[in-house]
Structure 1
Amino acid sequence: MLTLTRKGRNMAMTAVRTRPYLLAIGVFVLVRLTGVVVLAILADNRDRELFDVLKSWDGDWYLSIAENGYDNVPARFVDAAGHRTRTTPLAFFPLYPMLIRGLAYVTGGDALAAALVISLIAGCVAAAGIFRIAQIIDPRPKTGLLLVALWGGAPMAITLSMAYTEALFTALAAWALVGVLERKWILAGLCTAAAGLVRPSASVLVGVVALAALVAVFREHRTWRAVVCAVLCPIGLFGWWGYVANETGSLTGWFDIQRQGWFSFFDGGQQTLKFFGEILDSGNSVMETVTMLMVFAAVVLAVLVVRSRIPWPLWGYGAGTVFMVVVTAGITYSKSRFLIPAFPLLIPVAHGLANRKTSTMATAAVAFVLFGSWFSAYSLTGWNLAI
């Protein structure tokens, strides 16, 4: 028995040394499989179809845009206010539905299958990027594997396995940051430009990567690639905002759609503070309470990340994402999933767990993943409002 145990450990160590990225992807897939299984159980308990749940809310919008184009989305699709205009679908960024449409066309499959495959592939690419970033900070493989597990198993990480943009955006953000840290400026610029076509939170990534590129230009005086990166960064985000402005006839067209249809706008954090006060006073539901705790934990982690010794582009992106979540009004219950791409927040946690005994490290990671899987499943099956 002891010989078998030693042999197993030696095989595990060999796998870590020779195939670390495959192992990181394997950890991600295992964690996400756990989340989907828990979701399937809770969905079955409530007589709901798993695949219907996996395309809930925003997923239906992305699938409809992929199948029909922006101009032909069925009239039954309305915004959070219950309204619909010609430009309402333009609230959703174009890259994800374009990829869905392309893959469905090439494979001859349906849009939902294509969307879930894209999310899975993007999640694996993100896991590899997150692991690589962890290796730059701490060369111990277990730190990177822990970071991947914590990110993939966080509360509301179920969106990484849905027809949602979290997986695609995180993949692009992770490799953009890899490009910054490794001075691969063309990679950083292209990934950031693409991320700007996925979701508006790319504004933080654009600012961080462009600033890092400009700092490199002025400090190093030797790389034209950094200049190209700074130019590329805002193209996707500003390009889409410009397109929507042209379609709506208003320079603030996209922001107007968001404010009127999804109540999303910059309010300096007033809604978030009000929400916190109401929950502390009443605590009406698990969803509301955990959402509040997640936002509070994210703020605390942002402070820890800023005070840590990790490279500033990482804490700038992580803390910047938290700042945007806190100071933006909107559907409060979505704040949990908006935090999913902010994986640098979990670096201090992963690093701390890596310094513990193996049993403590494994127990904490498993407990976190199981809680995150349950809360994600509850949010989709036990909560009747949008996420």
Structure 2
Amino acid sequence: MSPDRSRSSDAPDKRRTPDSIAPAPTSAPTSGPAPTLPLALGGYAATRVIGLAILALAAVATGKDGLHRLRGRWDSVWYVRIAENGYGHQVTLPDGSVHSDLAFFPLFPALERGLSAVLPVDAATAGLLVSWTASLAAAWGIYAVGTHVAGHRAGVVLAVLWGVYPTAFVQSMAYTETLFTALAAWSILAVLRGRWILAGALCAFAGLTRPTAAALIAALGITAVVTVVRERKLSVRMVTGVLLAPLGWLAYVVYVGVRESSPTAYFDVQAAWGNSIDGGVALARFIWGLPPLAALGLVAALGLLGWLVALCVRQKQPLPLLVYTIAVVVISLIGAAYFGSRPRLMMPAFGLLLPPAVALVRLRPRNQVLVLTGLALASGAYGAFTLLGSGPP
């Protein structure tokens, strides 16, 4: 589907195959006001409230500080330190490897610093405010993309499903996932609507947020190439958007290179953290080292992931969304990062949730609520267990 000629998927399309996305007949048109937007944002917010409530109860039961786990644990500590002191901190581990704060992109700590300067809150609390605000912007963007592709009701369910993702508790932490997902969702929507300059600008900001922006940059670039080949014309706006897209990511990589006097400095920093690209070797070794039953379960989970990707392709999702989703999944799997963080790294790939969202729309509203509530409770319980435990998200 060409972004400049995409049509509302709420209108019937006789060319659709049985496996392609087809919204419910009662879905409202995508033009004009979105009457289901409050439902999408309210449903998403409800999932986060459920998660926070479960965390609060578990924290009381275990005598731990749940709020501290949200605002000052794992990567959150690094972001706060950057917000308060700038770059320059590093930690040398017992094995001699060096973890530098240059591994963390600058937009999130910059927002923490700016917000704490204008509000009577510290940087850690500012991080929560940024993350929570961005989570609503992300849910809105995900709803908008889902609505554009499959109708309003699918958009609502898609936004709520993102809120019950297994590692959705990270959406309530002072982490970058919500900010990045918001920028990515709105950038993809801009492409789908043919607003290339806006898409490129949002992608540039995403590139200042997370290295995963490479997936979004690829989505814009590949979509532009396919559009030019199909339509045999090249617009100035498209070229401008594509050129804008990688500027944020490139700017930070260049900054680290200049600061460290090495063109490969950023990649060296990431490698020291164990985040180098190895083509999936680390993942294969991790699976091989597990007990047989655990390895079988993990292989089954990866099989489910592959099945979801295949469903995304069969549903003929719009090219920018499909490329972005697949690229995020691939980037998350081919790196040498600790396995426990990989589900979190894939969370911005909200396109994976579109097949189940379309399936849930076919259920009665009562059954939809029951399913989503059950998932919210399970996600919240897992989040509380993880946050109050010792493992990384």
2:154 is equivalent to residue 148 of structure 1: no
Aligned residue in 2 for 1:304? 311
Q: Does 1:60 align with 2:77?
A: yes
SS at match of 1:329: coil
1:134-145 aligned at under 5 Å gives the runs 134-139=146-151, 141-145=152-156
- Work out whether 1:30 is the aligned partner of 2:41: no
Decide whether aligned partners of structure 1 residues 18 and 282 sit closer, same or farther in structure 2, where only a CA change above 3 A counts. closer
**For residues 93 and 222 of structure 2, what CA distance do their matches in structure 1 show?**
35
* 8 Å Cα contact 2:223-2:319 kept in structure 1: no
Per the normalisation by structure 2, the TM-score is: 0.86
CA-to-aligned-CA distance 1:340-386 (integer Å, 9 cap, x gap): 1010000000001111233332222222222111112211112x232
Higher helix share: 1
Contact 1:159–1:166 (Cα < 8 Å) also in 2: yes
Q: Which position in structure 1 is the counterpart of 2:114? A: 102
Question: Contact 1:306–1:319 (CA<8 Å) still a contact in 2?
Answer: no
Matches within 5 A, 1:191-202: 191-202=202-213
Alignment of 1:197-276 (within 5 A): 197-218=208-229, 219=231, 221=233, 223-260=235-272, 262-276=273-287
CA 1:324–1:37: 2 relative to 1, 3 Å: same
1:159–1:344 distance in 2 versus 1, CA, 3 Å = same
Is 1:21–2:37 an aligned residue pair?
A: yes
What is the aligned partner in structure 1 of residue 332 from structure 2?
325
User: 2:86 aligned with 1:69, yes or no?
Assistant: yes
Q: Are 1:157 and 2:135 an aligned pair?
A: no
Q: Deviations over 1:30-68 (max 9, x none)?
A: 111111111222223332212210121000100111111
Number of aligned positions between the proteins: 361
> Greater shift after overlay, 130-139 or 21-30?
21-30
Q: CA separation in 1, counterparts of 2:166 and 2:176?
A: 16
Q: Distance in 1 between matches of 2:43 and 2:139?
A: 9
Q: 1:346 to 1:196 in 2, by over 3 A?
A: same
- Counterpart residue identity of residue 299, structure 1: G
State the partner residue of 1:340.
Answer: 347
- Using the alignment, how far apart are the partners of 2:52 and 2:302 within structure 1? 24
Please state how far the C-alpha of 1:103 moved relative to its aligned partner.
Answer: 0.7
CA change 1:79–1:112 in 2 (3 A) is farther
Retained in 2: the 8 A contact 1:303–1:319? no
Deviation at 1:18, TM superposition (A): 5.9
1:8-41 Cα distance to aligned partner (Å, 9 max, x none): xxxxx9xxx8642232221111111111111222
Q: Which residue of 1 aligns with 2:385?
A: 378
Cα drift, residue 220 of structure 1: 5.4
Residue 137 (structure 1) shift? 1.4
Q: Gaps spanning 5+ residues in structure 1: where? A: 1-12
Give the Cα separation in 2 of the matches to 1:67 and 1:220: 50
1:258 is matched by which residue type in structure 2?
Q
TM-score normalised to the size of structure 1? 0.87
What's the C-alpha RMSD, in Å, of the aligned pairs?
Answer: 2.4
Kept in 2, the 8 Å contact 1:154–1:373? The answer is no
Which of 131, 140, 153 is residue 128 of structure 1 equivalent to?
A: 140
Q: Tell me how far apart the structure 2 counterparts of residues 372 and 80 of structure 1 sit (CA, whole Å).
A: 35
Q: Give CA-to-partner distance per residue, 1:138-174, whole Å, 9 cap, x none.
A: 22x3211111111011111111111100000000000
Contact 1:216 1:226 in 2 (8 A): no
> Which range moves more in the overlay, 210-219 or 165-174?
210-219
| 8 A contact 1:185–1:213 mirrored in 2 | no
**Alignment deviations for residues 168-221 of structure 1 (CA, whole Å, 9 cap, x no partner):** 000000001001111111111011000001111111111111222343345252
How far apart in 2 are the matches of 1:57 and 1:217? 44
Deviations 1:108-149 (A, max 9, x none): 32112211111111111111111111111122x321111111
Amino-acid identity (%):
34
Matches of 2:86 and 2:297, distance apart in 1: 36
* Secondary structure at 2:289 match in 1: helix
Rounded Cα–Cα distance in structure 1 between residues aligned with 2:40 and 2:93 = 38
| Other-structure match for 1:90 | 102
Residues 18/253 of structure 1: CA separation in 2 closer, same or farther (3 Å cut): closer
CA distance in 2, matches of 1:78, 1:180: 43
The AA in structure 2 aligned to 1:64 is: R
Q: Greater CA deviation, 141-150 or 294-303?
A: 294-303
For residues 81 and 297 of structure 1, the distance between their equivalents in structure 2, rounded to whole angstroms, comes to 36
- Relative distance call for 1:163 and 1:252 in structure 2 (3 A) is same
Q: Distance in 2 between matches of 1:225 and 1:356?
A: 42
Hey, what does 1:358 align to over in structure 2? Answer: 365
